[in-house]
Amino acid sequence: MGSWLLAASSWAEVAMYPVPMTLQTYALLVIAGLSGLRLSLEIVFVWLAQAAMGLPVLAGGASGIEALIGPTGGYLLGFLAAAGLVGWLAARRGGRDWLPLSASFLTAHAVILLLGFAWLASGLGAKAAFAGGVAPFLPGALLKTLLAVATVKLVGDRILTR
């Protein structure tokens, strides 16, 4: 179900070049914040496998190996790293306090953007990669972090603990 949440979050898309803006990082943070390390990684692996098999689960309905190794490839690798990081921290801390959640979610966004930037820079150069693949995403990363923290707090504190 988590992989389908990631897929559905790609449908809320702002088409930009070379990387579209979606709600996928929000969904990833919520999934990882609630699921822990192992399940978070399994969900992202399944989602990437669905994309590799041709299911339209990526932004804009993209799929296939070309989509996985295209301009967004670094971000997709970043999703794996971010899921592992947030899932590990969520399981290790055991709590859902605002500050640790916010710090881990902001760090996850930084990891995704860093890997995406490095991937893009290898083909576009650093200046173009930052302008098209990092700078436009910074305000959204802050907003999605706040929304994901609120969601994890609400779901974790009010629903999962009952």
Host H or E run for residue 73: helix 73-93
* Assessment of whether the complete model's pTM goes beyond 0.85: yes
Contact 145, 96 (CB under 8 A): no
pLDDT for position 56: 94
Go through the chain and tell me how many residues it has. Answer: 162
- pLDDT, tens only, 73-132: 999 999 999 999 998 888 776 557 888 899 999 999 999 999 999 999 999 999 999 999
Domain 2-154: which CATH number of 1.10.1760.20, 1.20.210.10, 2.70.98.90, 3.40.50.40: 1.10.1760.20
Average pLDDT over residues 129-150: 96
The mean pLDDT value of the chain amounts to 90
Which DSSP symbol is given to 160?
A: I
pLDDT for position 6: 92
Which DSSP symbol is given to 60?
A: G
Q: Is the pLDDT of residue 21 over 90?
A: no
Residue with token string 């990082």: 25
Q: Label residue 24 by pLDDT band (50, 70, 90).
A: very high
Average pLDDT over residues 39-56: 96
**Structure tokens given for 14:** 């702002």
